[in-house]
Amino acid sequence: MPYYLLLPLAAAIIYSLGSIVIKRALAEGVTMDQSFHLTNICLGVSFLPLLLWETHPVDWSQVGKPIAMGVAFFVGNWLTFLAIRRGDVSLVTPVLGTKVVFVAIGMTLLTGAAPTPPLWFAAVLAMVGIVLMSLTDLRGGQKVGFTVAVTLASAVFFGLNDVIVAMWAEDFGIYAFLSIGSMTVSLLSAIWWGVQGRPSLWLSGTRRRWAAAGAVLISLQAVAMGIALGAFHDPTGVNVVYASRGIWIILMVIVFGAALGNSEHREAGRGFLWRVVGTLVLTAAIVIAVVERSKHPLS
């Protein structure tokens, strides 16, 4: 395995852990807005050093493009936090992986080509995986529809974020592009915080520790993915490895859930087994979509 694929592998593991930690922070009494804003601030700070790595001449007249990326990421991130607050991370994280399918189909359509049979198969397989994951919950009358819908909407915006990066980042200067986009996320968060009436972001005790840990973990995995996509020209391999986060979250909930205050695998009962099956189906769909998309790069 090429050594650089350790970056998306680490990002997948760190993201899974970060989502569990954020869920714990919310259980400790941290509000969704507090965790959301703190994570966005940390994200902007974490990407700032990448500006020092930029060697490509930056065309500042095109600065609207990384700003557009930041807007898409901001909306996707807010929807993700909403989904995590309302639903289980063992459901939300795997469903987020559908963004790769959206990107594959979206990029194909942007080139003027019709999606190939494997891409349509991947899309159908992804939907089958989602149904399997929520099958028992739906039968039991639990309200998972909202969580799945919000998570899918989040995946669409994150997919749009990836499309923007794929189309414009390299010509702009990818490290500067990622840094400006991430700082845009922080700025939008600050603006939204002001619109909300500047609610307190001060936390103490265990709430501060869990919220800070979640913010740092989510930011670190984002930087790892940014470097992996920016420094190495293998988006196929990077995205396939990153798709493993759906499996990692299942394993972490089972192995470390109790230590992190997460009991989803026990509370979901038989439904958790269906989540495992659905996650495997969904992961297969993601791999098919990424591999097929790599055969038709953007011109």
The answer to whether residue 298 is domain-embedded is: no
What are the angstrom distances between the C-alpha of 134 and each of 38, 147, 151, 250?
A: 31, 10, 13, 14
Residue 5 tokens, joined: 């694929």
Where helices occur in 48-144 by DSSP H, the ranges are 64-86, 89-96, 99-110, 117-139
Q: What is the pLDDT of residue 298?
A: 47
Q: What is the pLDDT of residue 144?
A: 74
The answer to whether residue 229 is domain-embedded is: yes
* pLDDT, the chain, mean: 83
Residue by residue, what is the 3-state secondary structure of 204-267? CHHHHHHHHHHHHHHHHHHHHHHHHHHHCCCHHHHHHHHCCHHHHHHHHHHHHCCCCCCCHHHH
The answer to whether residue 299 is domain-embedded is: no
Q: What is the pLDDT of residue 135?
A: 65
CA distance 62 to 44: 20
The answer to whether residue 146 is domain-embedded is: yes
| Other beta carbons within 10 Å of 124 | 12
Rama region for 73: left / alpha / beta (φ>0; ψ in -120 to 50; rest): alpha
The answer to whether residue 121 is domain-embedded is: yes
CA distance 274 to 102: 23
Domain residues for the domain of 277 are 3-293
Please enumerate in sequence order all residues whose Cβ is within 8 A of that of 223, keeping only pairs 6 or more positions apart, or say none.
Answer: 46, 47, 50
The answer to whether residue 113 is domain-embedded is: yes
The answer to whether residue 261 is domain-embedded is: yes
Q: What is the pLDDT of residue 140?
A: 46
**Using CA atoms in the order 17, 23, 28, 30, what is the torsion angle rounded to 10 degrees?**
110
With vertex at residue 222, the alpha carbon angle to CA 195 and CA 212, rounded to the nearest 5 degrees, is 60
Question: Total structural domains in the chain?
Answer: 1
Q: Tens-of-pLDDT digits for all 299 residues of the chain? A: 578 889 989 999 999 999 999 989 988 999 999 999 999 999 999 999 988 888 888 888 899 999 999 999 999 999 999 988 887 787 787 888 787 777 777 767 766 767 778 878 887 888 888 777 766 655 544 567 788 889 889 988 988 887 788 778 888 988 999 999 999 999 999 999 999 989 888 888 899 999 999 999 999 999 998 888 777 767 667 777 887 888 888 888 888 777 777 666 665 566 677 778 888 888 888 888 777 767 755 44
CA distance 235 to 239: 6
With vertex at residue 194, the alpha carbon angle to CA 47 and CA 31, rounded to the nearest 5 degrees, is 75
